[in-house]
Amino acid sequence: MKTPQLPDVGSFIREQRERSALSIRKLAEMTGVSNPYLSQIERGVRRPSAEILRSIAEALAIRTETLYERAGLLDGYEAPGISTAISTDTKLTISQKQALMEIYTSFISNDQEDS
């Protein structure tokens, strides 16, 4: 008998973990969640609590709201626009923000020309 799948938060967590080059064991250690439980979350068998999602988001350096939305805990949450996200990101230098905005603006301009 196949276990019903929960919202795609588990596969998203797995993708983010792999992008961060973290083993499931390392992520479990960073979040205080057991390996088997984290594996079940990634496979969509278990539904993690908001607190566990928060610790996973912190360990993966992603927005908690992103995981909450994927888990179906937030409806209608609107992420900040790209420009706002770039300008308020404290991990970026001013020159990095300017470069990203130029690239983003060029993509937007190209998309509008193609329409």
| The predicted structure's pLDDT at residue 26 | 96
pLDDT category of residue 6 using cuts at 50, 70 and 90: very low
Domain boundaries, the chain: 9-70, 82-114
With 0.75 as the threshold, say if the pTM is over it.
Answer: no
**Range 9-70 classified under CATH 1.10.260.40:** yes
Residue 113 pLDDT > 70: no
The CA distance from 24 to 31, in Å, is 11
d(CA 100, CA 26): 31
